[in-house]
Structure 1
């Protein structure tokens, strides 16, 4: 038996190579390995670093149910070799595993990142045998023993943090114990095993329609935790289950059971899994998210937008609602320029004379809405010092689009020999080169004919399990399309590196780092009630970097100063997505908008490197008090909201400033200070807001 012990960037990993070349991952944590923590070593099928399932092979032992344990040939893959090198990013390991029966190889990649306690993993499968093999599952990360640290029962110490996500209810984190999810320990610890599990999956093209593709596992006894994100823009799966005495975590992309995916591998064929990032902490959730924030900044495409953090005005939310006209746009352009916006995006409807929903696809300007052409407006936007933008939904065609009636069916997803419909649209298939040529033509025309420098790329359908055309399975067709779309997007940015494209999917239904490693900015929600939006805003840095998180601020035509302030504070530590009928606001309320944007411009160069803190924890939609901050070295920019309730004063713990002499300044608004005080021991900030639905932005600096 041989051990491979790794300590890199605060991560402890222990691999074991058995005398029979059985390859196991015994440990992955922020704390060192203790042999005595493993209570069930008798099994020869547990602790597998890779689970891989091929059709037609027996899966013995355990009560599998739908769990991905004791996969075949996963449980008898054998170690062949490994490499251990340094690259520009950090340390890189590649383990080669082989199944003697099928001659299927797995090349398991582990990429470390310098000074970050996070790794990126993916597996490449290659069929080196003589027979066709059908691959229906392979993990990207698989680790058994997630509960083994500490002495308390897993029911007492283990919790799973799950980011629920849906339209207008994004970033909705909930914390569960294992018993709350139906996984009580009711067997002797060394024998614990069952037929059920905790599992969260996405099936389809909206990667975050029910949950963000990430989660956090906490051990409250040892203060250790694991955080992971699945970097894929489609179907994914993770599960926590029990297996012969221990709990395991398996993270993957699509599979056959949950996402109708399988792939036939002919001799010589290869398949690469979707990448997964996994980080460790011995401090807690906030530290884990901070590490993931730094990692997300490293893996995304370098771009000027995330350096400059320019302010967007978009004419949709609580404004034109997808019914733009030239007459309405001119005063909005004037007002947006007056308050200091830097992008101006014309949202949906610019291409249709009437109702546009089921006619999208040709992307020609409406001369009814814009009698002198759209270029008149985009030129006017540029004359006011702003970059013009338009709304697109370039992955679909409406069922009443003339072009959709003329092109062949192989442009679209099909199942059962028919085009796939959803919400009166067809799903385009980006594996088809004619489709990508069409999409490139639209982008070229918008840039060259209209002078567009900003695109809001929306996506409002869910085509389901995939497409049967030119695919081994409908899930295979889906995965192929999703990867082709990413390749197309890479080509667009290669051709137009200064073009800003916003990732929008009915708000925040595709918040994933396959997309966000390319897009510089993400719409977080279609929530049109600013009182709820503060929860989305406060929680958003858990799912993406603050400088990519576009938050609507839309002062109402009828409202008071505190309503404007609440709206503006929602966005001021993130990316301001300004809207509302600015031209119709009273002068005093419009001045509050401008004041907020001026302050934002003065601090945004600090914000782009800040790490998120939550003095009151992540926000629930029912919370009276909400708080979120960005720690920028020795300065904390802190947003505080009070909604409806009976508590006029609240105390916010700031442990990073414990024992420090701190200067407190209310940055916004200037017209109304609120009572507040700093207590250096034990590091607490007390705020009083006597009215409901108030918000303030503070700056706390160590003297």
Structure 2
């Protein structure tokens, strides 16, 4: 995968055949990264940096073509082989002769795997401080459609490589997560008649986070595809600010991936001589065929490879949570005990007491949280009575916690030192009745360690739902640091705190929740075991979120609510229970009040889940109808397992009673289509091997079905 520098005008110092990428060194020492076969001018410097006094060579909305990026010159590179011949780590070293800034670019990849992970370390080797304002984690140029690339190779004429490229990105919002969109790249980055001006444009297509909800607006995941099935898919791993841009450079597309920056996140970092800064990681996936489905399959494997190993990823226990459309933050012993009995009877293996278990305040708990002590009035016999009841029914007890906040009326708001909280301009930040802890401060961390060690070590809690319900804004200013740098520092400390919990309590399961899916990134999910996908309470609105959840998290980490109720019809009960069967079940609802037939539907869904969950943790997602639209009448997603393929289909408001789904990886295979759930469904499923087509019929609207395709 690596080469040796040659004494020629331009030479490859690194290459990745599966990705079709190479890093090229020119006679002036500049290193650029791009696709094979592309002209030098189409590529982008390996690292782009803006710093106060050292901006861009061409002003605009783009954060490429920087003065420092153009000056960074090659020093050396080397490659190490890790994991017994698996992962290869290449470090390319660069330096700026003007400022003395040195860059170490770390590229990680595995032979035969189509992903590239990148990080950058900057070191000030100069004599004066340097104020950083933006740094790329990964830049890539020379992206063109296969047709344009072939045209260039044959004619040596620079064709418009953006024609034929499609851009894919995902909007995110509370109750409306993972909403994917697509547009022709040329509709977003329009042709400007460059021949008439002699310069590139000033704009680009960009998406970025805002504040402390990393996915409050968009997912840090996007892609470019072409008509021939090629895909370039990327992911930025940051809970504290990120941005990507894509645009045109010399008739080809480029991609630049960033953590926080000054313009979008109020981030700047002053590097004194000798100090360093590490960017957030990012990954690029390339699929040569198969388009987005193939690329997301590779990204799924990559995500499984970078996360902390944990038993939960392999056992996938069924979780009952008392909140959604049920107790809604108002638990008591009297209300919980019947739900515990019914959850256990349905087959749940974890029972989570959600918000409110600490609330004994007549004014409400929202702005008084922080101590995390049980409310005596809610649990006359003590909360341990309820936790013991969960354990005696064979389930692991869980509790909801929002660790990073302290309510303005909490005594902790006065007893913890001012430096333990987020501050800006010397004033403690308040948002929606809460202050925000800075986990870099030892008092803040000691407080939370004491809380969790009490809940887990003394009370026997085995599952913590860690919620995060405020967007605190750009961050915190600790001394002279910028707000964005404070946010990045806190989140790195937060991840370290979570890892410390798991070091002390290896069996503890951590669920990452941010008002549902508003902090759904792989900085968090490399440590936490599960991800809440949404707070959506309308079962008819949940399917597009469920179907697209595997774009944001591995299927075995994506927790999906199922909240059947005794006043629902059989179709309605089955509809909500079908949703999580290819991910993780967050069962809820007043199942204790159901009649026997209704309860059998619940128990049957849990039984089916336990039958298929053994394949979920190694399977790859795909979308037979494409990624879903918010209002789509028919929605489908599937998992391609080692032994079977599973397809989930929803029919919402649609006049069609059937839909044909393409399953290309099974074309020509003799397989049997079996409706797994609901078992009493009048749905139909027929397989056409020659066409690789599954036809599913659902005679009524607002119904759903899970189908298994297995060897006949």
TM-score by length of 2: 0.94
Rounded to whole Å, the distance in 1 between the matches of 2:637 and 2:618 is 15
1:448 corresponds, among 457, 460, 476, to: 457
Rounded to whole Å, the distance in 1 between the matches of 2:312 and 2:251 is 50
**Is 1:622 the equivalent of 2:631?**
yes
Rounded to whole Å, the distance in 2 between the matches of 1:189 and 1:292 is 41
Does structure 2 conserve the Cα–Cα contact (< 8 Å) formed by 1:6 and 1:12? no
Does structure 2 conserve the Cα–Cα contact (< 8 Å) formed by 1:178 and 1:184? no
Partner of 2:375: 366
Q: Compute the displacement of 1:20 (Å).
A: 1.7
Q: Compute the displacement of 1:640 (Å).
A: 1.1
Q: Compute the displacement of 1:114 (Å).
A: 4.5
Rounded to whole Å, the distance in 1 between the matches of 2:72 and 2:189 is 32
Distance of aligned partners of 1:129 and 1:495 in 2 relative to their CA distance in 1, 3 Å threshold = same
Distance of aligned partners of 1:562 and 1:471 in 2 relative to their CA distance in 1, 3 Å threshold = farther
**Is 1:169 the equivalent of 2:176?**
yes
**Is 1:460 the equivalent of 2:455?**
no
Rounded to whole Å, the distance in 2 between the matches of 1:246 and 1:350 is 56
Q: Compute the displacement of 1:153 (Å).
A: 3.8
Partner of 1:594: 603
- What do residues 472-499 of structure 1 show as CA deviations (whole Å, max 9, x unaligned)? 2111111111111111111111111100
**Is 1:352 the equivalent of 2:365?**
no
- Is 382-391 or 202-211 further displaced after alignment? 202-211
Rounded to whole Å, the distance in 2 between the matches of 1:570 and 1:531 is 10
Does structure 1 conserve the Cα–Cα contact (< 8 Å) formed by 2:14 and 2:24? no
Gaps of 5+ in 2: 1-8, 149-158
Partner of 1:498: 507
Partner of 2:591: 582
- Is 181-190 or 113-122 further displaced after alignment? 181-190
Partner of 1:251: 257
**Equivalent residue runs for 1:123-134 within 5 Å:** 123-134=120-131
Partner of 2:269: 263
Q: Compute the displacement of 1:39 (Å).
A: 8.2
Rounded to whole Å, the distance in 2 between the matches of 1:26 and 1:217 is 15
Rounded to whole Å, the distance in 1 between the matches of 2:19 and 2:683 is 44
Distance of aligned partners of 1:495 and 1:663 in 2 relative to their CA distance in 1, 3 Å threshold = same
Q: Compute the displacement of 1:387 (Å).
A: 0.2
Does structure 1 conserve the Cα–Cα contact (< 8 Å) formed by 2:161 and 2:253? no
**Equivalent residue runs for 1:218-617 within 5 Å:** 218-220=225-227, 222-283=228-289, 284-354=291-361, 355-617=364-626
Q: Compute the displacement of 1:175 (Å).
A: 0.5
Q: Compute the displacement of 1:431 (Å).
A: 0.9
2:92 corresponds, among 92, 95, 99, to: 95
Does structure 2 conserve the Cα–Cα contact (< 8 Å) formed by 1:566 and 1:695? yes
1:13 corresponds, among 17, 21, 24, to: 21
Partner of 1:204: 211
Paired positions, count = 689
Rounded to whole Å, the distance in 2 between the matches of 1:190 and 1:546 is 49
Does structure 2 conserve the Cα–Cα contact (< 8 Å) formed by 1:204 and 1:234? yes
- What do residues 528-551 of structure 1 show as CA deviations (whole Å, max 9, x unaligned)? 011111111111111110000000
Distance of aligned partners of 1:448 and 1:85 in 2 relative to their CA distance in 1, 3 Å threshold = closer
Gaps of 5+ in 1: 28-32
Does structure 1 conserve the Cα–Cα contact (< 8 Å) formed by 2:416 and 2:444? no
Rounded to whole Å, the distance in 1 between the matches of 2:269 and 2:109 is 29
Partner of 1:83: 78
Does structure 2 conserve the Cα–Cα contact (< 8 Å) formed by 1:466 and 1:476? yes
2:103 corresponds, among 68, 92, 106, to: 106
Does structure 2 conserve the Cα–Cα contact (< 8 Å) formed by 1:429 and 1:481? yes
Distance of aligned partners of 1:177 and 1:635 in 2 relative to their CA distance in 1, 3 Å threshold = same
1:54 corresponds, among 51, 54, 67, to: 51
Does structure 2 conserve the Cα–Cα contact (< 8 Å) formed by 1:185 and 1:192? no
**Is 1:140 the equivalent of 2:137?**
yes
- Is 14-23 or 613-622 further displaced after alignment? 14-23
- What do residues 314-360 of structure 1 show as CA deviations (whole Å, max 9, x unaligned)? 00001000000100000000000000000000000000124211111
Does structure 1 conserve the Cα–Cα contact (< 8 Å) formed by 2:209 and 2:217? yes
Partner of 1:30: none
- What do residues 271-320 of structure 1 show as CA deviations (whole Å, max 9, x unaligned)? 11000011101120000000000010111111000110000000000100
**Is 1:160 the equivalent of 2:167?**
yes
- Is 322-331 or 678-687 further displaced after alignment? 678-687
Rounded to whole Å, the distance in 1 between the matches of 2:143 and 2:80 is 27
1:194 corresponds, among 201, 212, 216, to: 201
Distance of aligned partners of 1:375 and 1:24 in 2 relative to their CA distance in 1, 3 Å threshold = same
Distance of aligned partners of 1:160 and 1:213 in 2 relative to their CA distance in 1, 3 Å threshold = same
- What do residues 97-133 of structure 1 show as CA deviations (whole Å, max 9, x unaligned)? 0111122110000011354210110000011111111
- Is 636-645 or 173-182 further displaced after alignment? 173-182
TM-score by length of 1: 0.95
Does structure 1 conserve the Cα–Cα contact (< 8 Å) formed by 2:560 and 2:586? yes
- Is 505-514 or 199-208 further displaced after alignment? 199-208
Partner of 2:64: 69
1:678 corresponds, among 677, 687, 695, to: 687
- What do residues 480-525 of structure 1 show as CA deviations (whole Å, max 9, x unaligned)? 1111111111111111110011000000011111100000101000
Partner of 2:5: none
Rounded to whole Å, the distance in 2 between the matches of 1:549 and 1:688 is 27
**Is 1:691 the equivalent of 2:711?**
no
Q: Compute the displacement of 1:72 (Å).
A: 2.5
Q: Compute the displacement of 1:91 (Å).
A: 1.4
Does structure 2 conserve the Cα–Cα contact (< 8 Å) formed by 1:318 and 1:580? yes
Rounded to whole Å, the distance in 1 between the matches of 2:449 and 2:196 is 58
Q: Compute the displacement of 1:689 (Å).
A: 1.2
Does structure 1 conserve the Cα–Cα contact (< 8 Å) formed by 2:189 and 2:247? no
Does structure 1 conserve the Cα–Cα contact (< 8 Å) formed by 2:109 and 2:116? yes
Rounded to whole Å, the distance in 1 between the matches of 2:452 and 2:67 is 46
